[in-house]
A and B are shown apart, each in its own frame.
Chain A
Amino acid sequence: MKIKHLVSGIALSMGASVLSISAMAADTIKVGVLHSLSGTMAISETTLKDTVLMMVEEQNKKGGLLGKQLEAVVVDPASNWPLFAEKTRELMTKDQVDVIFGCWTSVSRKSALPVLEELNGLMFYPVQYEGEESSKNVFYTGAAPNQQAIPAVDYLMNDLGVKRWVLAGTDYVYPRTTNKILEAYLKAKGVAAEDIMINYTPFGHSDWQSIVSDIKSFGSAGKKTAVVSTINGDANVPFYKELGNQGISSEDIPVVAFSVGEEELSGLDTKPLVGHLAAWNYFQSVESDANDAFISQWKAFTGNPDRVTNDPMEATYIGFKMWTQAVEKAGTTDVDAVEQAMIGQETENLTGGMAYMNKNHHLSKPVLIGEIQDDGQFEVVWETEGVVPGDAWSDFLPGSKDLIADWTAPISCGNYNTVTKTCSGQNY
């Protein structure tokens, strides 16, 4: 009977595929790449995949790691969150990779996390995020809120004398959390409640007329006003266009964004954006030898002189460098050894200075504020003195102000409650 053939056929072929994998030998160090190459997130994530491949290639040119060649294993979770968990498992069990570089959105990370902790994997997460997490198996090389949002607010407050605040964001966890933190922070700084306006919009929101006009009237109350934007990817272009059209220039109401980088700018008409701000740990325009080398290497690798670099790429770069150093220090790719070796690693930022890996698996990095120029690049107008240590648990959220992450003995816990002296919910 046909069906029987079909089914058994499937069963067999699956069996086969399993075998073929488990037969692989481990004479190379496998580097898993878990970035969406299709679907909505492909826009941002393919860049990071290429970055990792570039780093791997470079490392191999240098003779690999521990005398072995690195081998990148690329999978495509297709911007489908459950697939991130599945593909993580595939990388860990079928391909048996020694480390994973991947994820962009928080939800994808949260989807992959349980699998990582179950199989005790190692992942480097290179994107700025809302914090409130520290896993034994993840290193967060992107910015935590206190490495992006809070310095940005400080800059606006102190240098531009902003008195009134619009916190505009897309309605998902990163903006929600960031805005909660900022709200608490601003209030702590003595900003009155009526001087804070919070607004959330759906993903890919394209009709900004009313919101922008609200912002406009909110901003015409005589006090200097600024917009802190956690608006996500696609919604930005219409937002800035509307700002321009309603005659709001960067001198009147500057907008500081946390998710608009060189890559995003390359996709839009910068005319209405000039003078608006972004806060990152890295800008392509920063002049340093390391950066120039990186940029030229990138352009060479992609074979496209117009390709830009951005902050998550630097985060990937730092993460990769640190991982190689840690592996060399530990002399093995064993996760636990590498995890311990990672802590305290130092490597050069592309923007100069050293990045330092803290006990909470977050980096210490400098924070830069840039003004958007008409060529789609950023002009650094302010930067922190020295580096800012990433804070896994915000001090401005009631839920997490008592929590710290410390992965060194004796605590070695991702969410250690300093009051109750307890450590809850670890998946290992």
Chain B
Amino acid sequence: MSSLLSNFMSFSRINGDSKVAPFVVVLLVVTALASSCNLLMPEDSVFYVSTYTITLLGKYLCYAMLALAVDVIWGYCGILSLGHGAFFALGGYAMGMYLMRQIGDRGVYGNPELPDFMVFLNWSELPWFWQGMDQFWVAMLMVLLVPGLLAYLFGWLAFRSRVTGVYLSIMTQALTYALLLSFFRNEMGFGGNNGLTDFKDILGFDLQSDNTRVTLFIITALMLSGLLVLSKKIMQTRFGKVIVAIRDGESRARFIGYRTENYKVWLFVYSAMIAGIAGALYVPQVGIINPGEFSPINSIEIVIWVAVGGRGTLVGAIIGAILVNYAKTKFTAIMPDGWLFALGAMFVLVTLYLPKGLMGLVAQLKDRQLQNVNNRPNDKAEEGHA
């Protein structure tokens, strides 16, 4: 753990004043504390963090990763995808299939080959797309490939024929809606409405033991930090600058000689893969994946997390995701019906009065301070990405 921390410290030195480094540090510290409090502290201790909280945090971090994925394309390239839930879910399904196969003959029907839902829909043998999913590495490959490929296909079609802006958003929504419908179908062989559930263990570790949960949680945190740093780095390369350039003046970028569609496609694929990873980490922690994840509403909700946090600032997206979901958990507990009102209001108010999200606010406040001190060398450069 500590070695990791020091690593990121050293990174932060390289990375100058980027907001990322301190955030990553805070994130990892919180993770370390939470997990050790869960494992080391006795149940009755004041500092004990319940497994419930751990799984909850783990879920938040997965969502945060998803928000990161959306922010990469929306914040930096101006592509508003209302279908990112689809990539999330696909990644989740890939993982789910692996976990399903891990059950082996411990299913209720004791069938060594077939998952239970196939047995009682009396399917004779495993469909081709389930083959090999019992290999962890295959599954992990699928987690990246399936969302990646879908994103590539869709992006290649859409961006090449210059479907942009609102049209694109609506198309992505149609995409996830179509997937929703098709995964509901039992013929698809993904367990229909019930989806995949009742997982037993992953890589031989019991999914229900606290250790496994904490490990998953830590992995999620590391993954999130890693992807956050990576995305930040990418956005600092010339590639990143081109992406932003495309956002602000696509035709200009073309006239300078950039094949903007290729850039968009690859960024889209990258983002989709992040979403896929998020989904894959989400499933073992919540213990079920079903077509509900494809529903357009979910995908739009992701966008609002990013908007709240402040798009174009990777950290903001993550914070937004965590805040909104935390609010959701608390809110639904207090007044269930109120939640939708709150969420709706959040949509309206943020778009109206907080176009740059919380990070925007933070930046403004910081500017004020700096103005008083009136020296602001690199701050503007930072703004460039905001």
Chain B residue nearest to A23 (CB atoms) is B46
B22 touching A90, Cβ below 8 Å: no
Interface centre among A80, A106, A202, A425 (most CB of B within 10 A): A425
Find chain B residues with CB under 8 A from A90 CB: 52
Q: Is B181 an interface residue (CB 8 A)?
A: yes
Asked if A173 meets B26 with Cβ closer than 8 Å, knowing A86-B286, A202-B181, the reply is no
Find chain B residues with CB under 8 A from A1 CB: 19, 22
**In the bound complex, CA of A202 to CA of B330 (Å):** 33
**In the bound complex, CA of A265 to CA of B269 (Å):** 48
Asked if A8 meets B186 with Cβ closer than 8 Å, knowing A38-B340, A86-B286, A115-B287, the reply is no
B332 touching A14, Cβ below 8 Å: no
B53 touching A18, Cβ below 8 Å: yes
Chain B residue nearest to A15 (CB atoms) is B49
Find chain B residues with CB under 8 A from A383 CB: none
**In the bound complex, CA of A397 to CA of B122 (Å):** 8
B110 touching A3, Cβ below 8 Å: no
A94 touching B52, Cβ below 8 Å: yes
- The interface-forming segment of A59-67, A363-371, A398-406 is A398-406
Interface size on B, residues (CB 8 A): 68
Q: Is A76 an interface residue (CB 8 A)?
A: yes
Asked if A107 meets B195 with Cβ closer than 8 Å, knowing A400-B120, A425-B110, the reply is yes
Chain A residue nearest to B111 (CB atoms) is A399
B79-127 contacts to A (CB < 8 Å): 103, 105-111, 117, 119-122
**In the bound complex, CA of A113 to CA of B332 (Å):** 22
A111 touching B288, Cβ below 8 Å: yes
A8 touching B198, Cβ below 8 Å: no
Asked if A203 meets B184 with Cβ closer than 8 Å, knowing A7-B26, A7-B30, A78-B336, the reply is yes
B308-323 contacts to A (CB < 8 Å): 315, 319, 322-323
User: Which listed residue (A11, A113, A398) contacts B33, Cβ 8 A?
Assistant: A11
Asked if A113 meets B198 with Cβ closer than 8 Å, knowing A18-B49, A90-B52, the reply is yes
**In the bound complex, CA of A184 to CA of B133 (Å):** 32
A110 touching B198, Cβ below 8 Å: yes
Chain B residue nearest to A426 (CB atoms) is B106
Asked if A10 meets B121 with Cβ closer than 8 Å, knowing A110-B194, A424-B105, the reply is no
B7-34 contacts to A (CB < 8 Å): 19, 22-23, 26-27, 30, 33-34
A74-108 contacts to B (CB < 8 Å): 75-76, 78, 80-82, 85-86, 89-90, 93-94, 105-107
Q: Is A220 an interface residue (CB 8 A)?
A: no
B30 touching A11, Cβ below 8 Å: yes
A306 CB to nearest chain B CB (Å): 21
Asked if A422 meets B333 with Cβ closer than 8 Å, knowing A107-B194, A180-B121, the reply is no
**In the bound complex, CA of A414 to CA of B109 (Å):** 11
B110 touching A177, Cβ below 8 Å: no
Asked if A173 meets B192 with Cβ closer than 8 Å, knowing A7-B27, A110-B198, A414-B108, the reply is yes
Chain B, residues 55-76, CB within 8 Å of chain A (1/0): the string is: 1110100000000000000000
**In the bound complex, CA of A105 to CA of B192 (Å):** 13
**In the bound complex, CA of A399 to CA of B124 (Å):** 11
Q: Is B174 an interface residue (CB 8 A)?
A: no
User: Which listed residue (A89, A110, A171, A424) contacts B109, Cβ 8 A?
Assistant: A424
User: Which listed residue (A93, A111, A202, A400) contacts B197, Cβ 8 A?
Assistant: A111
A10 touching B323, Cβ below 8 Å: yes
Chain B residue nearest to A423 (CB atoms) is B110
Chain B, residues 172-211, CB within 8 Å of chain A (1/0): the string is: 0000000001001110000011110111100000001000
**In the bound complex, CA of A10 to CA of B26 (Å):** 12
**In the bound complex, CA of A8 to CA of B29 (Å):** 10
User: Which listed residue (B22, B119, B184) contacts A3, Cβ 8 A?
Assistant: B22
A107 touching B336, Cβ below 8 Å: no
Q: Is B239 an interface residue (CB 8 A)?
A: no
A171 touching B19, Cβ below 8 Å: no
Asked if A173 meets B50 with Cβ closer than 8 Å, knowing A3-B22, A133-B108, A202-B184, the reply is no
Interface centre among A7, A111, A202 (most CB of B within 10 A): A7
Q: Is B231 an interface residue (CB 8 A)?
A: no
A4 touching B52, Cβ below 8 Å: no
Q: Is A296 an interface residue (CB 8 A)?
A: no
Find chain B residues with CB under 8 A from A78 CB: 332, 336, 339
Chain A residue nearest to B119 (CB atoms) is A399
B288 touching A398, Cβ below 8 Å: no
Find chain B residues with CB under 8 A from A344 CB: none
B292 touching A425, Cβ below 8 Å: no
Asked if A417 meets B110 with Cβ closer than 8 Å, knowing A14-B53, A85-B288, A399-B122, the reply is yes
A86 touching B120, Cβ below 8 Å: no
Q: Is A242 an interface residue (CB 8 A)?
A: no
User: Which listed residue (B22, B23, B192, B365) contacts A172, Cβ 8 A?
Assistant: B192
Q: Is B263 an interface residue (CB 8 A)?
A: no
User: Which listed residue (B199, B322, B333) contacts A75, Cβ 8 A?
Assistant: B333
Find chain A residues with CB under 8 A from B287 CB: 82, 85, 111, 114-115
**In the bound complex, CA of A419 to CA of B111 (Å):** 14
Find chain A residues with CB under 8 A from B326 CB: 10, 14
Q: List 25 A-B contacts (CB under 8 A).
A: A3-B19, A3-B23, A4-B23, A8-B26, A22-B48, A37-B337, A38-B332, A78-B332, A107-B288, A111-B288, A111-B290, A114-B287, A115-B287, A171-B184, A171-B185, A171-B192, A173-B192, A177-B121, A180-B122, A399-B119, A415-B110, A422-B110, A425-B103, A425-B105, A425-B107
* A-B contacts besides A4-B23, A400-B109, 20 pairs, CB < 8 Å: A2-B362, A3-B22, A3-B315, A6-B323, A14-B56, A38-B336, A78-B332, A80-B292, A81-B290, A86-B55, A107-B288, A110-B198, A111-B288, A114-B197, A172-B193, A173-B117, A203-B184, A403-B109, A417-B110, A424-B107
| Residues of chain A whose beta carbon lies under 8 Å from any beta carbon of chain B | 1-4, 6-8, 10-11, 14-15, 17-19, 22, 37-38, 75-76, 78, 80-82, 85-86, 89-90, 93-94, 105-107, 110-111, 113-115, 118, 132-133, 171-173, 176-177, 180, 202-203, 397-400, 403, 414-415, 417, 420, 422, 424-425, 427
Closest 6 pairs (CB-CB, A-B): A424-B110, A172-B193, A76-B336, A37-B336, A425-B106, A399-B119
